[in-house]
Amino acid sequence: MPEGDVVRRTARRLHAALAGRDLLVSDLRWPDLATADLSGRRVLEVVSAGKHLLARLAATGGEEPLTLHSHLRMEGSWYVERSGSDGRGRRSASGVRAVLVTDAWTAVGHRLGMLDLVPTAAEVHLVGHLGPDVLGPGWDAAEAQRRLLADPARPVGEALLDQRVLAGVGTFYMAEACFLTGLSPWTPVGEVPDPGRLVALVHRLLHANAERTEQVTTGDLRRGRRNFVHARSGLPCLRCGTTVRVALIGPPSKERTAFSCPRCQPGPAPTDDGRPQAPLGARPRRTGPARAASGPARP
């Protein structure tokens, strides 16, 4: 699932392809937006805010500047191809949600989780609730820590995933940051010994991966060795050999998967049956223990 680093790279790629160019054709395949016509508008910039993408479009013909907002959610992506090239076959046509055509490049939004078109002045209604953007220019560690600790009883993993606390963290960085600080994801944030270190670590991990396509937290680029616990349930912990566990974390109906090593990360944990489970939204693997997912291990 795309997290802040992936979204930031996507914004850069879209910005490089589209900024300064006029849209010749737009095609938004989304309820309420199907009749919107962005042709003639110049793309000013494409930026990320946490896990949100904002494509800002210039005013035209007396109409105000607009922002095309998208969110990748579980499996969305944007890709760029040369205008006029036949990109069919690369992605399923039924998954296409947005097409933005310029003279040189065409951007295609595929399986997007959200798509909105709003006046740029109203962007705040879409992203104003977000906490400090871990990869943003205005990163504010002190404010992120303040928000993290706002509810002392809240499980630290749940708080890290809350975009109102920190914008850009998903289940991968949450799991890896908890592992690297030796915290069970279910530890109440009020009992985290050094929350400043945790916030700094999350910032460092996302930054370290912002410029590359692999997500690495171990420093080891070999396949299967790149991260400690995320999506490794049923496999031995890379540090101690104990079987990595997975369970759901978060409020009802908003649960996410949390992977952890019970030995390296002592502390509260839900009882579970120890069955391996693929992360939510992941495609089933053909081989390997994570395939045996037959149901979530509920607390």
Q: Binding segment for Zn ion among 6-14, 59-67, 85-93, 240-248 (CB under 5 A)? A: 240-248
Least distance in Å: CB of 265 to Zn ion? 7
* Nearest-10 crossing angle of helices 195-209, 4-18: 40
Least distance in Å: CB of 182 to Zn ion? 10
Give the Cα separation of 196 and 177 in Å (integer): 12
Which residues are within 8 A (CB) of 284 and not within 5 positions of it... i.e. 6 or more apart? 278, 291, 293
Q: Write out the DSSP string of 249-286.
A: ESSTTS-EEEEE-TTTS-S----------PPTTPPPPS
Q: Is 51 a catalytic residue?
A: yes
Using the minimum distance from each CB to Zn ion, give the nearer residue, 1 or 261: 261
Question: Is residue 239 involved in binding Zn ion (CB under 5 A)?
Answer: yes
Question: Is residue 236 involved in binding Zn ion (CB under 5 A)?
Answer: no
Question: Is residue 180 involved in binding Zn ion (CB under 5 A)?
Answer: no
Q: Which helix (H) or strand (E) holds 110?
A: strand 105-110
- β pairing state of 256-260 and 66-71: unpaired
Of 2, 132, 195, 279, which residue is the catalytic one? 2
The CA-to-CA distance between both ends of the chain, in Å, stands at 23
Q: Binding segment for Zn ion among 39-47, 66-74, 135-143, 232-240 (CB under 5 A)? A: 232-240
Question: Is residue 129 involved in binding Zn ion (CB under 5 A)?
Answer: no
Q: Is 268 a catalytic residue?
A: no
Of 8, 97, 147, 256, which residue is the catalytic one? 256
**211, 198 contact by CB (below 8 A):** no
Least distance in Å: CB of 262 to Zn ion? 8
Which residues carry out catalysis? 2-3, 51, 256
Q: Name the site residues for Zn ion (rule: CB under 5 A).
A: 237, 239-240, 242, 261, 263-264
